[in-house]
Structure 1
Amino acid sequence: MGKIIVIGMGSSDFTQINGQALEIINSNNKIYSRTERHEVINVLKEIKEIVFLDKYYDSADTIEKVDEKIVEELLKESINEDIVYLVPGSPFVLEKSVELLIKKDIELEIINNQSFADLVFSRINYVTDGYRTISGKDYNNFKVDFSIDLLIQEVDNEFLLDEIILNISEIYPMETKFSIIKDGGLKTEEIYQDSLSNYSRRIKPNHQTTLLIHRPDGLYDFSSLVEISDFLRGPDGCPWDIEQTHASMRQDLLEEAYEVVEAINEEDPEGLLEELGDLLFQVVMHSQVAKENGDFNIINVINGISKKLILRHPHVFGDLNLDKSAKVLQNWDSIKYSQRNFNTFWERLNDSRGLPSTIRAYKIIDKVTRIGFDWNETGEILGKVKEEYDEVIEALEDPKALREELGDLLFTVANLCHHLGYEPELLLTEACDKFVNRFKTMEETAQEECLDIQALDKSELERLWQASKLQ
């Protein structure tokens, strides 16, 4: 097996090629290049025979397949002789094919050169406190980190540049600075710097175009929230936050979750934004307490849910074919309970004891109906409701029996709700809202009549109640 010698061509022109690289290029070794689109190649192809691998960009379905095809050819061609492989910029930055070669059991030599990142910072005289480099083809908002600069390479056309700027503008402040560098270090160099709010098409990008999104000032991200939580519970933090435990924050967690639901019910986007933040802080705080206890941290939480979602969606991340929601839910439960070593069905029914009772009742009923334990007709379950009602009447003189019969009646009504396609928790919430609104109307009417609603007798209250129902 021959040796593969990887040479970085740098980020601009032929003058960047060092003596060691030139000596190897001028040897008799066969030369392969990832692409023909580079200033160094414009010089080399006049004096050396080079095999260009751009062909795989047209034949492969994804950029990952491109790299795999390139590596496959390089390995094949190096079986009996040493070969040279030229890559743009630095072999150690955004060069997946080199990463794949490193993982192979082969003799490999890598000669580094200036990366596009080094060139960009030098051309705009910019000192960075830290940055992340990604390819424009891989950009999405989930790769954003507001605490560092974002360097996006391979922004090779106007549509891609416009799309990235548009997506960036949705989450970054509009005063955030950006720099676009095209053909950095060459005679054709163009630099465009401004704020997102003033972006326009002043540069037509090519394969040597890089977009730098400068770190925004005064913008918080998830890591900021974790740091705030850590500080609040630290030596110089808040006495109340320091005292909190998992148990003491249980009520807060419930309240924040219900306030999220309320914002959804009210169709209040601004309220939902705020309440989701409050709920997220609860997750971070509980994770902080667990970290201090030596149990787990927020990274473990994120890693755990990510693994769970991938494992429980084999029809998305794997080869399983599930074309209906019912099949998806059935498969989800199957994976969930196999992980928990549930060997009996009743254990599945007992899996939701921490939920509010109406929600727990609904989930229990939902699970048993999936295996066919359900009412055939609505009339049957209405008859069961009447039966339970009658048993409540019979138990009025027996407190112990009454407690049980009232519970049976509530559970049967929850069963009726499920059978008719309603969630009892939501229905009861709506009923509470209706009662409060009617009582509001009662009090307003009482005030118009110069009456104190808290001082009225039952007959007056009933009069106002009946009047409120007419409005």
Structure 2
Amino acid sequence: MGITIVGLGPGSFKHITLETWELLNGNGPLLLRTAKHPCVDTLKARGVSFSSFDYLYEQAEDFASLYQQIAAAVIEKAKQGQDIVYAVPGSPLVAEKTVELISAQAREAGVSFTIIPAMSFLEILYTRLGVDPISGVTIVDAADLALLPPDLVTGLIITQVYSRQVASDAKLALMDCFGDEYQVTVVRHLGLPEEQITKIMLFELDRLNGIDHLTSVYVPHRPARSKLFSLDPVVDVMARLRSPGGCVWDIEQTHLSLRRYIVEEVYEVLEAIELADGVKLCEELGDLLLQIVFHARLAEESGGFTMQDVVDTVTEKMVRRHPHVFGKITVRDAAEVVVNWDQIKKQEKAGERIGVLDGIPIGLPTLMAAYKLQAKAAKVGFDWDDIGPVWDKIAEELGELKEAAALPEAERAQKTEDELGDVLFAVVNLARFMGIDPETALNRTNNKFRRRFNYIEAKLKEQGIAWENTILADLDVLWEEAKKKEIAG
């Protein structure tokens, strides 16, 4: 007893192999999965006797149970001691679920089976559409489209698009990945006299007439996209560094010990932005990200949270605070976006922040802290209506600083420190009215000073002049020279 599985080819009788034809003309029982195949009329005309499982199609609840029933029936026939020839459309090993089931069940039952090579519709499709499968092709049943990866870049052949409803389901699934107006090719009755090859936009897929069991869809490959974004590489490196046998220094770190490094990295990012240096900015953003991953790793080890929690939390927050983008709220301008943001943030923090000035981190750089203190006070009306009084306040504070500087030495130190702080606080207020971030502005000036001073130092070295042999007037000349070069640049 045994089962020989053959393929009837893609459609036309001329595509049946000679080996298959000889088996079809044998003496044993010939079972067709379905008699709804273009070459079956020719088999009848040539006196080939067969039976089919078409009657099961009408009884089965779904294709999964149908294919199970067909496989079980073929195995049962073989167990009765007969040599069975089982014929399927196309090739036995291309999109043929019953062959897969019969092979598995035959092994379990101790029934021998042989699969004979055959031509599938794919060979005709490749020829008609000029597709070289070596460049990459994915073949999938229309019922399994949901299993495709979203970043698929190979060409795609969808089989079993046998009805308008299946075409509609396929269209919806594909539009999520390719868009509405991606061009696809619908092929029908390949290799037959009535063969049709139609190029359409994806949204038109279920509008075609004549869709039947010999319909397939070819979706050409998309240009290769860059690799999907993933934090996994840096997360994995940090896990390795913190694991036993990793880096001793990394293993010893805590949230507290890492504080200085995250501050340093932020300022190095700001410097790269100031320099408009894209390469440096990329590197410094990576260093800053490493610090974030480092803290997340420490938290994960103690059972606090993971890097995924960090990503999920900020993602949910951004969606929640942008209802004009992700919801149904409309806004007129950017100012209204800020108002909505503040209202949503206030609702989120209800119970956590009672006072007006709550929520400003203690460890903020002082200029930034002053800016935020003033901004929060302004939201409840503690602010001037225009910039005029701000200028007056700066002049007032400078006058008080001068007075403090003239005090006797015993009183001067504490008083001048207080008054200088008031001057700086007033200048920060001016920056706020001008819409300038004082921290960024001062950082920009620091970087500018560093560049110009480095220029002076390089010039002195070039001329072989030591610092102690220079006078301020000469240094001022070099400073102005550096300034002019920057402006020209």
Q: Normalising TM by the smaller chain, what interval?
A: 0.5 to 0.7
- Counterpart of 1:231 in structure 2 is 240
Task: Give distance in 2, aligned partners of 1:241 and 1:428.
Answer: 33
- Counterpart of 2:277 in structure 1 is 268
- Counterpart of 1:406 in structure 2 is 420
Q: CA deviation at 1:260?
A: 1.8
Contact persistence 1:253–1:279 (CA under 8 A): yes
Q: CA deviation at 1:290?
A: 0.8
Task: Give distance in 2, aligned partners of 1:28 and 1:135.
Answer: 23
**1:170-222 per-position Cα deviation (integer Å, ceiling 9, x unaligned):** xxxxxxxxxxx9899x967xxxxxxxxxxxxxx99987336789999999942
Greater radius of gyration (CA): 2
Q: Classify 1:216/1:238 alpha carbon distance in 2 versus 1 (closer, same or farther; 3 Å).
A: farther
- Counterpart of 2:464 in structure 1 is 450
- Counterpart of 1:59 in structure 2 is none
Task: Give distance in 2, aligned partners of 1:461 and 1:26.
Answer: 101
Q: 1:326 is matched with which residue: 329, 335, 338?
A: 335
Q: Classify 1:215/1:466 alpha carbon distance in 2 versus 1 (closer, same or farther; 3 Å).
A: closer
**1:315-336 per-position Cα deviation (integer Å, ceiling 9, x unaligned):** 2222222232112112212222
The runs of at least 4 consecutive aligned structure 1 residues that moved more than 6 Å come to 123-126, 133-136, 149-152, 154-157, 181-184, 203-207, 211-220
How many residues are treated as equivalent by the alignment? 327
Q: Classify 1:307/1:220 alpha carbon distance in 2 versus 1 (closer, same or farther; 3 Å).
A: closer
Contact persistence 2:153–2:222 (CA under 8 A): yes
Task: Give distance in 2, aligned partners of 1:376 and 1:424.
Answer: 20
Where in structure 2 are the equivalents of 1:77-88 lying within 5 Å? none
2:479 maps to amino acid: S
- Counterpart of 1:26 in structure 2 is 58
Contact persistence 1:134–1:153 (CA under 8 A): no
Task: Give distance in 2, aligned partners of 1:313 and 1:461.
Answer: 55
- Counterpart of 1:119 in structure 2 is none
**1:4-31 per-position Cα deviation (integer Å, ceiling 9, x unaligned):** xxxxxxxx999699x99955642599x9
Task: Give distance in 1, aligned partners of 2:473 and 2:278.
Answer: 38
Contact persistence 1:182–1:210 (CA under 8 A): yes
1:225 maps to amino acid: V
- Counterpart of 2:373 in structure 1 is 364
Q: 1:427 is matched with which residue: 430, 437, 441?
A: 441
Q: Classify 1:380/1:225 alpha carbon distance in 2 versus 1 (closer, same or farther; 3 Å).
A: same
**Local SS of the residue matching 2:447:** helix
Contact persistence 1:135–1:154 (CA under 8 A): no
**1:374-431 per-position Cα deviation (integer Å, ceiling 9, x unaligned):** 3334332111111111222233343223222211111100111111232212221222
- Counterpart of 2:287 in structure 1 is 278
Question: TM-score normalised to the size of structure 1?
Answer: 0.56
Aligned CA RMSD, in angstroms, stands at 5.0
Contact persistence 2:33–2:54 (CA under 8 A): no
- Counterpart of 1:418 in structure 2 is 432
> Which has the larger displacement, 367-376 or 378-387?
367-376
Contact persistence 2:360–2:373 (CA under 8 A): no
Structure 2 gaps of 5+ residues are 1-9, 12-31, 36-50, 63-94, 97-132, 139-143, 159-169, 179-183, 192-198, 206-216, 406-410, 485-489
Q: Classify 1:221/1:343 alpha carbon distance in 2 versus 1 (closer, same or farther; 3 Å).
A: closer
Q: CA deviation at 1:230?
A: 0.9
Structure 1 gaps of 5+ residues are 1-11, 32-88, 91-122, 165-180, 189-202
Contact persistence 1:389–1:409 (CA under 8 A): yes
**Local SS of the residue matching 1:395:** helix
Q: Classify 1:134/1:264 alpha carbon distance in 2 versus 1 (closer, same or farther; 3 Å).
A: farther
